[in-house]
Structure 1
C-alpha cells in the first residue's frame, strides 16, 4: 500500500479521514498511509474516476477507502461529500485539505482568471473543505490539516499567485486554531518544499533532471523530499503524540527555506525566458 514507515501499525484504527486532492501525489500518499495505519479514508477529487481508482487500490492492499467526486471550488459539493463520508464511516477524525493548482507565470504574464483559479483552488478550496467538514467532525479530538507550501513565506519569481494563496492558507489555519480550539479541534499546516516525482514539480521543473539538479543546489539536504516523508509527517500529526500541536505551519523542506528561494527563483526565471524566446 505504501513504503515502510517507522510508526506502529494500527495507529489510526477506528479513525475516519477525508482527504481532498487524494487521487494523486502527496495527498494520495497520505491517504494510503492513513489507510495502512487503520483509518477509513474518503478520497475526494475533481476527477471522480481517479479518486475511485485510488480508493480501489487502497482496498486491494487491505485498507478501507471510498472515492468521492467534488470540486473544492464549490462549497455545496464539498458539503455533500462530507455528509457522504460521515454516513459511510462515522464522524470525521481527520480532514486533509490538499487540493491545489500551480503553473509558472509572472504577474504580468498571467491573466486575472489564471490568478483567481489558483486562489480559488488553494485558498478558497481549503476554506470550503474545512468549513463543509466542520459539522461532521468528531468533537473534541479532530484534526484539520492543510497542505501549504514553502512559497507561503518565500517570495518566489513567477509564483505570485501561489505565494498569495498559500500565505492565505497559513493565516486561515492559525485563525481557525483560535476559533475552533475550544471545541477540541486542532488546526495545523504542512509546508513542503520540493517533492520528487509529483505533477507539481514536473510543472515547476520543466526541463526534467537538468532543472531538478539546479533546484537541488538550493536545498541543504541535497535532495527533494519523498512523498512518503510528507505522509509520515501527516501521520504523526494525526497521532496521539501530536495532540498539543495546534495553530502552526510546519515546514518540511530539507532546509530549503533557510537559504531562501534564490535557486528556485532563478530556475523559474530561466524557464519563463526560454518560453518567451520560443514564441
Structure 2
C-alpha cells in the first residue's frame, strides 16, 4: 500500500495573527456578500475592522452583513451597487465614508463566470464578464483611490490562475483576470510613492463555494481529481482569508505588485477539467457535465 500523503489542515487566522491587528481600520469589499469574498471580509473583521460590503442582490447582502456583524462583533454596512456602473460605486463609497470616515483596505472581488467554448460564447456573455471583473475592478479603484491615498492603504484584487495557460471554456474570465492582474501591477507602481500597496490573490480550487460547484464537472470529479494536488486537499475559504490578513497587515508592507496563487500547488499539475479534445470538438458531448451559469 502506498504511503498516505501528509495534509496540512486549514486554520483560522485568529490562531496566527493578533486579534486586534486591524482595530480601527475599515474595509470596503465588492462581492463581499458571498463565497470567498465574504470569508475574506469576515477574517479582516475578526481582527477588529469595520466593513462595507457591496453587491447587486440586496437581500443576500443585507443578510450577509448581519451574519458578519454577529460573527465578529464588528459593524458591517451593506450597500447595493453594480460594479459595472461607476456612479453606483461612487455613491457606495460615499455611504462608507459617511458611516466610518475612512477606508483603509479595498477588496476588488466582484466576478462573474460560466463554462462556454469560444464558438458557443455570445458577444454579450464575453462583454458581461469583462465588465464585471475588469471594468468593475477599475471602477472600484477609481471610486476609492483618494481615500486609500489618505489612509496609506492597500488593495487586494481577487483573480484566478486560469489565464496562466490556455483553459478551455474560459476565454472570457481568462481575458478579464489577466487584465485585473495587469491593472494591479500598474496601480502598485503608480501609487506606491503615495503609500499605497496593490496585490492579487489568485485562488485555486476552493471547496464549498458556489463557483467551485458550478465550474467543476458534475459527478465525483472534485473528490477524485483535486485531492491529488500537492497539498492533498481542496482549498478552504480560510486559506484565502489568511492570505488576505497577511497582505493587509504591516508584515507585508514590502509586498506590492505581486500575484499570489493560493492553490495548494494545483497549477503545477492542472489539466483541463473537461475531457480534451472531446469537449472542444463536440461541445454537445459534454453538455451534461456542465452546471447552469453563475
Structure 1 and Structure 2 fold alike (TM over 0.5): yes
State the superposition RMSD in angstroms.
Answer: 2.1
Give the match for residue 43 of structure 1: 53
Partners of 1:35 and 1:140 lie apart in 2 by 18
Partners of 1:124 and 1:191 lie apart in 2 by 18
3-state DSSP of counterpart to 1:137: helix
Give the match for residue 264 of structure 2: 254
2:85 is the counterpart of 1:70 = no
Give the match for residue 273 of structure 2: 264
Shift of 1:266: 3.6
Is the 2:217–2:274 Cα contact (8 Å) retained in structure 1?
no
Q: How many pairs does the alignment contain? A: 274
Deviations 1:126-182 (A, max 9, x none): 111111111222535200110011113132111111111111100000011111111
Partners of 1:114 and 1:247 lie apart in 2 by 30
Normalised by the length of structure 2, the TM-score is 0.88
Deviations 1:228-263 (A, max 9, x none): 11011001101110111100111111111122x314
Report the CA distance shift for 1:121/1:267 in structure 2 as closer, same or farther (over 3 A): farther
Structure 2 spans left out of the alignment, 5+ residues = 1-10
Is the 2:168–2:272 Cα contact (8 Å) retained in structure 1?
no
Partners of 1:218 and 1:268 lie apart in 2 by 22
Shift of 1:268: 10
2:96 is the counterpart of 1:85 = yes
Partners of 1:104 and 1:237 lie apart in 2 by 31
Report the CA distance shift for 1:218/1:168 in structure 2 as closer, same or farther (over 3 A): farther
Is the 2:218–2:289 Cα contact (8 Å) retained in structure 1?
no
Give the match for residue 5 of structure 2: none
Give the match for residue 28 of structure 2: 18
Give the match for residue 207 of structure 1: 218
Structure 1 spans left out of the alignment, 5+ residues = none
Partners of 2:58 and 2:48 lie apart in 1 by 23
Shift of 1:223: 1.9
2:15 is the counterpart of 1:4 = no
Partners of 2:215 and 2:54 lie apart in 1 by 24
Give the match for residue 191 of structure 1: 202
Shift of 1:8: 1.2
The structure with more radius of gyration: 2
Partners of 1:254 and 1:77 lie apart in 2 by 37
Partners of 1:114 and 1:214 lie apart in 2 by 31
Structure 1 residue ranges (4+ consecutive) displaced by more than 3 angstroms after TM superposition: 265-272
Partners of 1:60 and 1:268 lie apart in 2 by 49
Give the match for residue 27 of structure 1: 37
